[in-house]
Amino acid sequence: MDAIARSVPVGVVGAGTMGAGIAQVAAAAGHEVRLYDAAAGAAETAVETIFQRLARAVDKGRLLAEEAEDAVSRLHAVATLEDLAGCGLVIEAVVEDLGVKRALFTGLEAVCGPDAVLATNTSSLSVDAVAAELAHPARFAGLHFFNPAPLLPLVEVVSGEHTDAAVADLLVATAQAWGKTPVRAASTPGFIVNRVARPFYGEAFRLLESGRVDAATIDALLRESGGFRMGPFELADLIGHDVNLAVSRSVWEAFGRDPRFTPSVLQERLVADGRLGRKTGGGVYAADTPRPEPATADPVPAAPAAWAGAGGVDPSAPGWSVGTGEVELRPTDGRTAAQHTGGGPRTVVLVDLALDTSPARVGIAAPEHAPKEHLEAAIGFLQGHGYAVTVLPDVPGLVVARTVATLAAAAADAVDSGVATAEDVDTAMRLGTNYPRGPYEWGSALGWDWVTGVLDALAAADDPGRYRVSPRLRDRATAGDGWRDDAEVAERDDLARNAAEAMWSADAASRALGMAVEQVSSGTAVVSMLVRPDMINGHGVCHGGLVFALADSAFAVACNTHNRRTVAQGADVTFVAPAHEGDRLLAVADERHRGARSGICDVTVYREDPAGLETIALFRGRSREIPGTLVPDEEET
């Protein structure tokens, strides 16, 4: 598909910072540009600002004088919307108000010819919602530039439900002709960048709200160890907390207040107090005082001689370990150092993820009551390898690892939801947010099993809803994970079936409802139930409580397959679709995390249908072990 010809005029509505920047880009690309703003004199002022900006670029040697003069000659402030008649492309960059945008495009549709393409630069509103009142929505799409538009290369080309594929192709080609890097996105909340980037801020604020890690330390770790250009608090202070919070709230509301996107209470307080960042003299950091230093361990004596042959450290990847008989360094996998250490006697010290190839700083955590000499041995060993060491509290996922894992999960969710391809997601995050690497690429490199492991550990320790792992992400993590029909697996599954049979034989309530165990293996179970006439409520559908009971029974079977008596500690269920009399339901349970005494198990309830399986309900249960076994194990015999 060819780009819009240079001979075709381009209209821009809205003469603020973004509109003026888009007008400059289009004019520099060779188009006549007509800039309109409803506020008297605003378009003329914007054109003059563009003139000055181009002149400065010439003075700095970034632009030839002839190029600047040509661009200036093509820029025109116009007085009415009707002056945009004859434009082949009109881009809107007005206030983020749905009513205002709808009214504007209704007026543009009446003015512009039938072949003109209409585009919105919205960053947070649904493209479909903006186009809802158009007679011809096929020619409408999103064209989301990033500020400042003349400098930042990324453009999100957003297709609505009715956008013609040829229109999207035209906009992609045009963005490329204008020197930009376009990515394609579907019209979903936040598109790519504003959706996937939420955990970068969300996890940082969550750690800060806990009171266990300070802002300067979080920023330093993500910058010096994670390789990010700026830490999340530095960046939010620069952007403005009012702007950052507005995006967070918009995405959260658009997703039905999904806990994955819950805005920070602390950031809401900053905005309420007028502490918006640099533009108000202070936000997380005060503008008139030196920025606090990050927590850094004092130098300690070199590691004992026993560490001499311990080898090197690679904090950029999971799966390594170094140490002695008393102390072992391991990369974090989401679990705490206390969970890794267990009853000892060796102390496990966890090392945070470091994405920079030569990090200046690494974070570590030890169990709360670890011997001082064990922690100092680990610090001395790392300092001997040239690292500044930050000792963190023993929190799940530490700082960089939990940030990267949640970013990778958000990227995978965007891909799985059809928002964009993995390549476009990574391109958008590198160019739109200056991430050192695309988050989907991170997930692939670190291993999706590692990503889900970190999320499962966070879910077990904190918030199961916020850190839930989607079924598609779980499938990605378990694909090719080495489950084989070998002797070890067969022995484990034999024990699982024996334990499940023992538990099920004592579960008279489930059997009375006609439930049956269809499949069992270690950590998994499938339980079926036929919806009988006496299970139907007054609305003609199966009682939700019985669907819950089916999911809970599958949950119980899966959690008890390890032959350790396990009971429910809590559960959440979401009903997706109704079940009716005669339906055969299948509850498929899969244990996602099992710690020392607790675990998480996800259950999906399906309705069997000739065309396949239809999801009825999604259930997440939290379990805890109690003393005893279901069948005698080797220790007891």
**Residue 80: Cβ within 10 Å count:** 10
Q: Is the pLDDT of residue 636 over 80?
A: no
φ/ψ region of 41 (left if φ > 0, alpha if ψ in -120 to 50, else beta) reads: left
Q: What is the pTM of this model?
A: 0.75
Average pLDDT over residues 585-601: 79
pLDDT at residue number 637: 37
For this structure, is 156 an active site residue? yes
Average pLDDT over residues 557-586: 89
Query: Tokens 């990503």 label which residue?
Result: 451
Q: How far is the C-alpha of 623 from the C-alpha of 569, rounded, in Å?
A: 5
Average pLDDT over residues 328-351: 89
Q: How far is the C-alpha of 231 from the C-alpha of 219, rounded, in Å?
A: 4
Catalytic residue selected from 194, 248, 264, 553: 194
Give the pLDDT confidence of 51-73 residue by residue, as tens digits: 999 999 999 898 899 989 999 99
- How many angstroms separate the Cα of 351 from the Cα of each of 206, 348, 390, 453? 20, 10, 10, 16
Q: Please report, for the chain, how many H helices and E strands are present, in that order.
A: 22, 19
Q: Residues 401, 404, 406, 408: is their CA dihedral positive or negative?
A: negative
Q: Is the pLDDT of residue 335 over 60?
A: yes
Strand ranges across the sheet with 347-351:
322-323, 327-331, 347-351, 361-365, 388-391
Q: Based on C-alpha coordinates, what's the Rg of the chain?
A: 29
**Which region among 195-204, 249-258, 268-277 has the lowest average model confidence (pLDDT)?**
249-258
Q: Which residues of 198-220 are buried (b: 16+ CB within 10 A; e: fewer)?
A: bbbbbbbbbbbeeeebbbbbbbb
- Could you give all domains of the chain from N- to C-terminal order, each with its CATH number? 10-187 (3.40.50.720), 305-391 (3.30.750.190), 487-625 (3.10.129.10)
Catalytic residue selected from 31, 92, 126, 144: 144
Give the pLDDT confidence of 169-187 residue by residue, as tens digits: 999 999 999 999 999 999 9
* CA-wise closest residue to 293 among 188, 421, 388: 388
Catalytic residue selected from 123, 316, 510, 521: 123
pLDDT at residue number 564: 85
pLDDT category, 591, cuts 50, 70, 90?
Answer: confident
Give the pLDDT confidence of 67-92 residue by residue, as tens digits: 899 999 999 999 999 999 999 999 99
For this structure, is 368 an active site residue? no
pLDDT at residue number 624: 87
For this structure, is 147 an active site residue? no
Q: Map residue 230 onto helix, strand or coil.
A: coil
For this structure, is 136 an active site residue? no
